[in-house]
Amino acid sequence: MNPNTPLLAPSTADGDLAGKHIVLGLTGGIACYKSAELCRLLVKAGATVQVVMTEAATQFITPVTMQALSNRPVFGSQWDAREPNNMPHINLSREADLILIAPCSADFIARLVQGRTDELLSLLCLARPMATVPLLVAPAMNREMWVHPATQRNMAQLQADGAVMLGVGTGAQACGETGDGRMLEPAELLEDVVAFFQPKTLAGQRVLVTAGPTFEAIDPVRGITNLSSGKMGFAIARAAREAGAEVTLVAGPVALATPRGVTRIDVKSAQNMLEAVIPSAQQATIFIATAAVADWRPAQAADHKIKKDGSGATPQLQFVENTDILATVAQSARALSGALFCVGFAAESQNLLANAQAKRARKGVPLLVGNIGPATFGQDHNALLLVDAHRATELPHASKRILARQLVAEIAHRIS
C-alpha cells in the first residue's frame, strides 16, 4: 500500500443509494461480522436493506443484529409464514434493485452455479428476474479454497451466468494464514455498489486527473504550497471510474484515500507532476487538470535549512515560473489531433465568468471549469461554472461528489 494512503477514509455522501432496495444475503463465513457494518453503510447511504441469511450465516452473527441494523425482520426460511402468499423467494427478489451476497462462501458459489434451491437465499437468487435484478457476489474464504480449481471454475461459470464478481481482498485471514480470499472491506463494497448504479458513460475511456496542491521546496524543511485539499479532483477521479473509465490520478500532497479502482501516482512539486503527467497523457483520452499547481518555485532549493543569522535580515528568495502542465498537454499532438480531450479548472477569487473565458482561451482547452477557490478549498461542497466555446453552464452548489458526476456527464456528452 502507498504510504500516503489512506489517511482519511473515503466519505460516501449520504443519499448515494437513495431509493434503492438491496437484498443483502449473508452466507456462512467469519466475514459475516463485516456484513453488520456493510448493512449500516448501505442504510446510511440511503438504501433500504432486506437481509436474508443462510442457516450457516446464523452460526456467525445473529439475525437480531442484522434486524436492528437494517430495521427490518431478517428472512432465512423459504417456508416463512409472514409472507401472505408464503413465497418469500418471489416477493423478496421482485422488490430488489440488486442482490448482494456478502460474504459469499465457496459452498454458496457452488450452490449458485448448480442452481440449487435448498435454502431461501439460493432459491431467491435463482428466482430473480435476471434482466432487472443484478446479482453481486463478494466472496470470502481461506486462500487455499479461493485458488482451488473448483472455486475458480465455479466463479468463472457464475460470471458467465451473469453474476458480477466484486473480487477479494488480500492479507491476514481469520484462520491465521495470509493471502487472497478475504472479503472486501465494507467501505469498499459500498463503493462498488454505488458505482454499479452509475451510468457507464465513460466506458472504454482512459481518464487522467491531476489533483491537490503542489509543494515547492525552499529548503529541506520549508516550502510553498496552497490551500487546495484535492477533494474536487479525487471526486472527479472517482466519478470517472464509476462511469466505467480507466482512471489515473496524479495527486499532490493530500490526506485523502485513493478512490477504489483508481491508479494513483503521488507527486510533490509541479515539476514532479509534469513528469508524471506527460507519459500518462500519451495513453489518456481525457485529461482533467484540477490541481492547484504552484505558479512559481524557488529558483534554488537550499540543501540545508536556512538559518537566522541574528541580524534580522530576511532571506532573499528568487523564483522561476513552473511549466504550465495543462497548456503543455493541450498543445500536444495527441490533444491537437482530437485524441485527447482536455479540461482545465480555474480557481478564481472574483469575476468568475470573465476569468474562466479568458483562461480557456489562454490554455487552449475546449472546456474550462471555473470555481471560487477561497470558497471551496477544503470544503465538501462547491459550485461550478462550465465554459466552452459556445456557452457557460452553471452547476449549482452541491456536494463535490454530485458535481463530479455532473461534470463527468457533461464531458461524456461532449466527447460522444
Our CB check for ligand CTP shows the closer of 135 and 293 to be: 293
- Please identify, among the stretches 40-48, 173-181, 340-348, 395-403, the one whose residues bind ligand CTP according to the rule CB under 6 A: 340-348
Active site residue 32: no
Among positions 30, 52, 325, 403, the unique one binding ligand CTP when judged by CB under 6 A: 325
Task: Label the pairing between strands 246-251 and 206-211.
Answer: parallel
Considering only 100, 133, 344, 376, the residue that binds ligand CTP (CB under 6 A) is 344
Positions in 288-317 near ligand CTP (CB under 6 A): 289, 291-293, 295
Q: Which phi-psi region, left, alpha or beta, contains residue 245 (left: φ > 0; alpha: ψ -120 to 50)?
A: beta
Instruction: Pull the grid cell for residue 52.
Output: 436474508
Buried b (16+ CB within 10 A) or exposed e, 378-389: eeeebbbbbbbe
Residue 326 touching ligand CTP (CB under 6 A): yes
d(CA 382, CA 386): 13
Smallest gap from Cβ 325 to ligand CTP, in A, equals: 3
Q: Per-residue contact track with ligand CTP, 356 to 395, x per CB under 6 A?
A: ---x---x--------------------------------
In which element (H, E) is residue 246 found? Answer: strand 246-251
Distance between CA atoms of 252 and 225, rounded to whole angstroms?
A: 10
Place of cell 509543494: 215
Choose which of 347, 367, 384, 407 interacts with ligand CTP (CB under 6 A).
Answer: 347
Region from 51-59, 284-292, 304-312, 401-409 binding ligand CTP, contact rule CB under 6 A: 284-292
Q: In this structure, are residues 210 and 290 in contact, taking their beta carbons and an 8 Å threshold?
A: yes
Q: Which is nearer to ligand CTP, 80 or 295 (CB)?
A: 295
- Report residue 306 CA to chain centroid gap: 41
Residue 70 or residue 228: which is nearer to ligand CTP going by CB? 228
Q: CB nearer to ligand CTP: give 104 or 326.
A: 326
Check binding of 254 to ligand CTP (CB under 6 A).
Answer: no
d(Cα 157, Cα 152) in Å, to the nearest integer? 9
Nearest CA to 330 out of 352, 319, 315, 345 is that of 345
Taking the complex as a whole, the smallest distance from the CB of residue 368 to ligand CTP amounts, in Å, to 8
**Residue pair 210/273 in contact by the 8 Å Cβ criterion:** yes
Residues 195-234: x where in contact with ligand CTP by CB under 6 A, - otherwise, as a string:
---------------x------------------------
Burial call 351-370: b when 16+ CB within 10 Å, e when fewer: ebeebbbebbeebebbbbbb
Instruction: Count the site residues for ligand CTP by CB under 6 A.
Output: 17
d(CA 10, CA 8): 6
For ligand CTP, give the closer residue by CB, 42 or 209: 209
Residue type, 157: Q
Q: Residues 218, 301: contact at Cβ < 8 Å?
A: yes
For residue 257, the minimal CB distance to ligand CTP (Å) is 21
Per annotation, catalytic residue among 32, 39, 125, 175:
175
Q: How far is the CB of 295 from ligand CTP (least distance, A)?
A: 5
Among 27, 35, 105, 322, binds ligand CTP (CB under 6 A): 322
User: 135 vs 292, which CB is nearer to ligand CTP?
Assistant: 292
CA distance 276 to 304: 27
In this structure, are residues 258 and 249 in contact, taking their beta carbons and an 8 Å threshold? yes
| Window contacting ligand CTP (CB under 6 A); options: 110-118, 181-189, 298-306, 342-350 | 342-350
Report the residue number, 291 or 340, with the smaller CB distance to ligand CTP: 291
CB nearer to ligand CTP: pick between 89 and 297: 297
Give the Cβ contact number of residue 307 at 10 Å.
9
Per CB under 6 A, the segment of 71-79, 128-136, 174-182, 344-352 that binds ligand CTP is 344-352
| 45 in Cβ contact with 15 (< 8 Å) | yes
Cα dist from 308 to 96, 128, 216, whole Å:
68, 74, 21
Per CB under 6 A, does 324 bind ligand CTP?
Answer: yes
Q: Backbone phi, then psi, for 349, in 5-degree steps?
A: -115, -10
Q: Which residues are catalytic?
A: 175
Binding positions for ligand CTP, rule: CB under 6 A: 210, 270, 289, 291-293, 295, 322, 324-326, 344-347, 359, 363
